[in-house]
């Protein structure tokens, strides 16, 4: 690992099983499912009528009413998670002093303001183009969560957004860490957000045959690595990490959750929506992350898998882990928290990075729930159904996106 060291000094999240970090972590350790019948709209006419929604989210807890109305739901989620993480880190930037100019933001989102897109398209077709909101385009574009966070928290440094489908927030974290490593900033607010629970997005993903159709069993629908899996469950929410240059964090005397160690990327270059068979693309990303961290495969104590609950992903990811970890693959605990949260699409990598940091801090590995029927092609240790107490010092998280985007990140305890 070249360049300056990067640590994590703040966390925040809003997701289907927790409105903040503590609530989420308690539920994750208990194996609670956040999946239910869709409440945001009447989905009874769709092939899929289940999702993992954020319950009882009130943006006015964080924003005034006028500001909230100008944001899409995905940006509201990111703003809420950022507010939590900034408070957790003890950072507060004002004016145009050096601290603010050395602080930036990197956000990942797969489809940005898709709810606003659908709503404004309905307005245009029903009431005419002159009735579209003047905030329609700012609400829709996928970089706006980053822009609003920069404005609201006075982050005057690098301001960027990644749109690499379900790998987006993992890319944002890795890119933010690289900016600090090379000296482009001292603090980066990184993470991702998604709010895709609307008729257009649910119907669209259903048409790709990627979603579970277990409408009569919502809590059992997301079942990564299980032989009876039939697709992922669409989810919503956000997660944010505060990355900080290590010496700066030590000088502030703040709590450090862990250290960012490695970032690996690769491309499948194979298919629009399917992973490359055999797992070579995903394996390259994992190996690149290990190499970047300067670690051997046996140094990793836990993998938070991409684990979407689709037939193709889970067997391919299992094969990729075997390629990288060899005989050790059978001994390393692996879990997919998507079994509880559903798939946050572009926000997934950030939430699962947060899981890795909490697992390292507390020595608890969250389970893969709904694992009841072993699959011969998925024959590793998926921490089935119950959390496990295991002291670990390093963890990896995987994120793979439509288009063949592969990302792996490595975190470690702070030395």
Active site (catalytic) residues: 166, 306, 343
Which residue do the tokens 């940005």 mark?
A: 112
Three-class SS state of 108: strand
C-alpha–C-alpha distance, residues 396 and 411, integer Å? 6
Of 53, 59, 107, 74, the C-alpha closest to 194 is 74
Of 349, 358, 343, the C-alpha closest to 50 is 343
Strands 334-335 and 302-304: parallel
DSSP 227: T
| Alpha-helix residue ranges (DSSP H) falling in 294-391 | 311-325, 338-341, 348-362
Strands 302-304 and 394-401: parallel
**What's CA 118's distance to the chain center, in Å?**
23
Three-class SS state of 53: coil
**What's CA 214's distance to the chain center, in Å?**
24
């Amino acid at each position: 690992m070249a360049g300056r060291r990067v640590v994590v000094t703040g966390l925040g999240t809003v997701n289907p099983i927790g409105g903040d970090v503590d609530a989420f972590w308690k539920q994750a350790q208990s194996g609670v499912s956040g999946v239910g019948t869709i409440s945001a709209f009447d989905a009874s006419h769709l092939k899929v009528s289940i999702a993992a929604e954020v319950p009882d989210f009130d943006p006015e807890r964080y924003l005034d009413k006028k500001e909230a109305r100008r944001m899409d739901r995905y940006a509201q989620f990111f703003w809420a998670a950022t507010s939590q993480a900034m408070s957790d880190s003890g950072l507060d930037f004002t004016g145009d002093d050096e601290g603010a100019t050395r602080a930036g933001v990197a956000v990942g989102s797969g489809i940005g303001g898709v709810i606003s897109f659908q709503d404004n398209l309905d307005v245009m077709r029903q009431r005419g183009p002159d009735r579209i909101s003047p905030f329609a385009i700012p609400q829709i574009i996928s970089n706006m969560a980053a822009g609003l966070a920069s404005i609201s928290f006075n982050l005057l440094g690098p301001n960027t957004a990644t749109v690499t489908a379900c790998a987006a927030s993992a890319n944002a974290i890795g890119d933010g860490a690289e900016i600090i490593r090379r000296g482009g900033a001292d603090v980066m607010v990184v993470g991702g957000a998604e709010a895709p629970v609307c008729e257009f997005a649910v119907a669209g993903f259903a048409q790709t045959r990627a979603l579970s159709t277990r409408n009569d069993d919502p809590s059992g629908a997301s079942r990564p690595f299980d032989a009876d899996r039939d697709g992922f469950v669409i989810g919503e929410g956000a997660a944010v990490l505060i990355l900080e240059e290590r010496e700066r964090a030590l000088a502030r005397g703040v709590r450090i959750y862990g250290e960012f160690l490695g970032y690996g990327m690769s491309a499948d270059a194979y298919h629009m929506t399917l992973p490359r068979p055999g797992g070579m693309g995903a394996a390259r990303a994992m190996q690149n992350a290990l190499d970047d961290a300067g670690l051997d495969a046996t140094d990793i104590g836990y993998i938070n898998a991409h684990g979407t609950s689709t037939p193709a992903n889970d067997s391919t990811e299992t094969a990729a882990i075997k390629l990288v970890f060899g005989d050790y693959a059978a001994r390393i605990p692996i879990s997919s928290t998507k079994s509880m949260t559903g798939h946050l699409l572009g926000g997934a990598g950030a939430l699962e990075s947060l899981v890795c940091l909490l697992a390292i801090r507390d020595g608890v590995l969250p389970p893969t729930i709904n694992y009841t029927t072993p699959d011969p092609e998925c024959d590793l240790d998926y921490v089935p159904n119950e959390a496990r107490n295991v002291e670990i010092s390093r963890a990896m998280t995987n994120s793979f996106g439509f288009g063949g985007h592969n990302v792996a990140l490595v975190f470690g305890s702070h030395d």
